[in-house]
């Protein structure tokens, strides 16, 4: 107890420590985002990632050690994905009224996300496993990781791309949609959920409850469609 380095070495091996660090990092990140007026750049997920990366770097902790403690959060991604059926059910009547345009937007958005990522990366010289890992990057993490593994990609790389996609979408969505003068909260939310999955959906809920609900619907439907389209596109093109 008199040697703080030995105490840290002991605590660093305890899984509960890294779960606590993860939760504490997000609480700090959310507080910081709130203090900054929920500015799009002050995304809580991005801030939490930077905090955790700094802690791991300073403490010289391997990712495997960290993940052993934080894997409960990873496990909860599964139930969270299934829960995407809740906003769809709650807004079923409103969805039926705009079913046709939503279906067109879903197919167009999902294909654009896959084809643009593969096309740009291929043009820049990316090939093989790394290229394939890009295909499901706009789907929510549990689905994207499963699809990536099934089509011969690298799930770890896909996970990083999914997070980057979500953070980027959450940052640029509001300014971009405002610039395009899109005022329908259903369309705004659906577009954000389709392109930026869970991170974008969390941001959409902060902006408007209707946008958040339709973002959750877009996220869930895009995950389902990407699971079918990504393998098909990769097979046909690559």
Tell me the angle at which helices 185-207 and 44-59 cross, rounded to the nearest 10 degrees: 50
> Do 119 and 197 lie in a common domain?
yes
Q: What is the pTM of this model?
A: 0.78
Distance from C-alpha of 123 to C-alpha of 103, rounded to nearest angstrom: 30
Which of 51, 75, 99 is the endpoint of a domain? Answer: 75
Residues 89 and 69 in one domain: no
CA pair distance 111, 233, nearest whole angstrom? 9
Residues 149 and 64 in one domain: no
Three-state DSSP class for 181? coil
Q: Do 174 and 87 share a structural domain? A: yes
60 and 120 share one domain: no
Domain that holds residue 210: 81-237
61: left (phi over 0), alpha (psi -120 to 50) or beta: beta
202: left (phi over 0), alpha (psi -120 to 50) or beta: alpha
Between helix 209-237 and helix 99-123 the angle, nearest 10°, is 50
Q: In this structure, are 129 and 163 located in the same domain?
A: yes
Residues 112 and 209 reside in one and the same domain:
yes
Q: Identify the domain boundary among 46, 75, 104.
A: 75
Q: Mark whether 218 and 156 lie in a shared domain.
A: yes
Q: At what angle do helices 185-207 and 209-237 cross, to 10 degrees?
A: 110
Point out the domain boundary residue: 75, 95, 117. Answer: 75
Report the number of distinct structural domains present in the chain: 2
Q: Say if residue 71 is in the same domain as residue 86.
A: no
Residues 29 and 122 placed together within one structural domain of the fold = no
Can you give the pLDDT of all 238 residues of the chain as single tens digits?
Answer: 455 555 455 555 566 788 888 889 999 999 998 898 877 778 888 889 899 999 988 888 887 788 877 777 777 777 776 776 777 777 778 888 888 999 999 999 999 999 999 999 999 999 889 999 999 999 988 889 889 999 999 988 998 899 899 989 888 888 899 999 999 999 999 999 999 988 888 888 888 888 888 998 899 899 999 999 999 999 998 7
């Amino acid at each position: 107890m008199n040697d703080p380095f030995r105490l840290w070495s002991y605590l660093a091996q305890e899984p509960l420590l890294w779960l606590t660090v993860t939760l504490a990092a997000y609480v700090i990140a959310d507080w910081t985002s709130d203090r900054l007026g929920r500015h799009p750049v002050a995304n809580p997920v991005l801030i939490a990632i930077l905090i955790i990366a700094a802690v791991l770097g300073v403490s010289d902790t391997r990712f495997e050690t960290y993940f052993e403690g934080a894997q409960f959060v990873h496990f909860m991604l599964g139930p969270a994905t299934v829960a995407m059926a809740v906003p769809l059910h709650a807004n079923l009547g409103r969805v039926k009224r705009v079913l046709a345009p939503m279906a067109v937007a879903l197919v167009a958005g999902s294909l654009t996300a896959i084809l643009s990522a593969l096309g740009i990366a291929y043009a820049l010289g990316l090939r093989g496993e790394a290229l394939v890992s890009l295909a499901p990057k706009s789907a929510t993490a549990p689905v994207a990781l499963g699809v990536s593994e099934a089509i011969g990609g690298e799930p770890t790389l896909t996970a990083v791309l999914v997070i980057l996609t979500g953070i980027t979408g959450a940052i640029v969505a509001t300014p971009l949609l405002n610039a395009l003068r899109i005022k329908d909260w259903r369309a705004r939310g659906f577009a954000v959920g389709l392109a930026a999955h869970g991170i974008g959906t969390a941001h959409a809920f902060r902006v408007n409850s209707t946008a958040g609900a339709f973002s959750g619907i877009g996220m869930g439907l895009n995950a389902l469609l990407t699971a079918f389209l990504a393998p098909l596109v990769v097979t046909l093109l690559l």
